[in-house]
Chain A
Amino acid sequence: MPFIFDSLKSAILLIFSLDRELLDVISVSLRVSILSTLAAGITGIPMGLFISMKEFAAKRFVITILNTLLAIPTVVVALIVYTFISRKGMLGSFNLLYTQTAIIIGQVILIIPILATYTVSAISRIDDRYRKTSLTLGASGFQTALVIMREARFSLVAAVIIAFGRVIAEVGISMMLGGNAKGFTRTMTTAMALEYDKGEFVLSVALGIVLLLISFFVNIILNYFQGKSRV
């Protein structure tokens, strides 16, 4: 027990001392996660909007595939991306492997299904009278899509927050595609795994605390928006 308390105490001191290495790791994590969430949002939300508003033959099949992809392990995504960006891969000449861009690509692929399915679900709950009202008032298809997105805004923000939560906490993609290079691709989760391997628990626990605090903060925002969407 004293070992746990000692680690916890040292970790808290490390956080308050604004340790350079700790700040680097947090900054890489936040940068990569925010960028991948934004990129996936730009793709996944319109994809979900298209699926929910258009009638096409394979609609149910596409939704089933997206639902299946929700459970895809991060290491599988990393492996697929690796085959493309490794030196021998199709995109090998771009030298993406072991860069933050590689992590972002993997994370985007990981959370697009989350954002698309949550968008489909959010739009399906929106009263069809909004669509009819917008159309009859003379709005185009695109303007009507914007109206519906506006009505579903709280649920869509919640979807983005859930997706962010998924990427900030993942380790497989960051480790396999980022390579855990100090100061460049070392994220909170990969740093924790490394410190654990080294038997250095202090930084690991400190990062764990920061990760939990971020998760707590994200959940507060999520609860706020979910509450709003029920009003």
Chain B
Amino acid sequence: MLYKIKKLVKQYDGRKVLDIESLNIKKGSVYGLLGPNGAGKTTLLEILAFILKADEGEFYFNNNPVQYKNSDLLKFRKKVVLVQQHPILFTTSVYRNIEFPLKIRKVPKPKRDKTVKELLEMVDMSSFGSAAGNTLSGGETQRAAIAQALACFPDVILLDEPTSSVDIENRAGIENIIRKINREKGITVLFTSHDMLQSSRISDEIIYVNNGRICGSIHENIFSGKAVKNGNEVFVKVYDNILIPLDTERKGQVRISVDPLRIDIKRESAEKKSGMFQARGNIVQLADADDKIRITVDIDISLSILMNKTLFLKSGLSIGNEVTVECPCESIQIL
């Protein structure tokens, strides 16, 4: 086992930001760390990268206990590299940035030149060697940072939201690089994301993180709005124009999650029913999700629905179809 964690706790000003009962990471796999903003994903990555100290718990790396001694940390850090959510390159050329980890590992100059050239090619940035690191775009910086990380010849690469600040074209490129470094170099990859589709596409295993804990699944279709009473019913007003019925007495600002497995989807319009959330919209995305199909419907907000594959094939639904989505208010959970 590459990482073995038990009862790990990290606190900031007395507030627990991570409280992990148990987590095991195997060698050679791609893991997606999925969770909403503020779930503790970045903190977990920084602990796994040995640049942040956990307050409590047992932590093993390659079966060695992590005791935060400076000599051990340096040894561990040489095996693990973290690419931050918004990576920063040193204010020198891209070439020198990638050369830096090789230099501190005392790699001879001819080998350094060869490695930097190969890595620039791998991330499709061969012509950027002499460019200044601080003049690159978000996507270019991300790719250069991945090349810099690969120059460490790591056992593990940790990527914090690797595609959050890049456009669609660069996103696909970075996803390809992640697959490539895992398949061709056998490097274990852990990346954080809040994109379920992306995580399913790239990772062998998904770890769900919420409120600093590892959980079995994750809430989807999370919306914030104001709970308002209309007659006998309570609704959550999302973006001023969408009313979602709620089985609660609560008032004021709430966060809700709509279970994607309990949303019905049909082509025809439905009659208004009390205690049901109903809306019309268009299918904008279809994606494979193991034994199900993930359907994204635009009802002024993006709603994710999981449908059994057999049922989906029978339904004949396709992108662009106008559909009705409905779900009972019991399937809507207040977070």
* B304 within 8 Å of A (CB atoms): no
By size class, the interface of chain A is 10 to 19
**Are B70 and A138 in touch, CB under 8 angstroms?**
no
Return the chain A residue nearest B49 by Cβ.
Answer: A136
* A88 within 8 Å of B (CB atoms): no
B68 to nearest A CB, angstroms?
A: 13
Q: Give 16 A-B pairs besides A133-B88, A135-B77, A136-B77 with Cβ atoms closer than 8 angstroms.
A: A127-B88, A129-B87, A129-B88, A133-B84, A133-B90, A135-B51, A136-B49, A136-B51, A136-B81, A137-B81, A138-B74, A138-B78, A138-B101, A140-B74, A141-B70, A151-B90
* B152 within 8 Å of A (CB atoms): yes
Among B84, B88, B91, B105, the residue within 8 A (CB) of A138 is: B105
A147 to nearest B CB, angstroms?
A: 7
How many residues of chain B are within 8 Å of chain A by beta carbon? 24
Q: Chain A binding site: helix, strand, loop or mixed by DSSP?
A: helix
**Are B77 and A130 in touch, CB under 8 angstroms?**
no
Ranked nearest first, the 7 interchain pairs of A and B with the lowest CB-CB distance are: A129-B88, A137-B101, A136-B82, A138-B78, A135-B51, A136-B81, A136-B49
* B86 within 8 Å of A (CB atoms): yes
**Are B84 and A129 in touch, CB under 8 angstroms?**
yes
Return the chain A residue nearest B100 by Cβ.
Answer: A137
* Chain A residues close to B by CB (< 8 Å): 127, 129-130, 132-133, 135-141, 143, 147, 150-151
Q: List 29 A-B contacts (CB under 8 A).
A: A129-B84, A130-B90, A132-B46, A132-B82, A132-B84, A133-B84, A133-B87, A133-B88, A133-B90, A136-B49, A136-B77, A136-B81, A136-B82, A136-B149, A137-B81, A137-B104, A137-B148, A137-B151, A137-B152, A138-B77, A138-B78, A138-B152, A139-B104, A140-B74, A140-B104, A141-B70, A147-B90, A150-B90, A151-B90
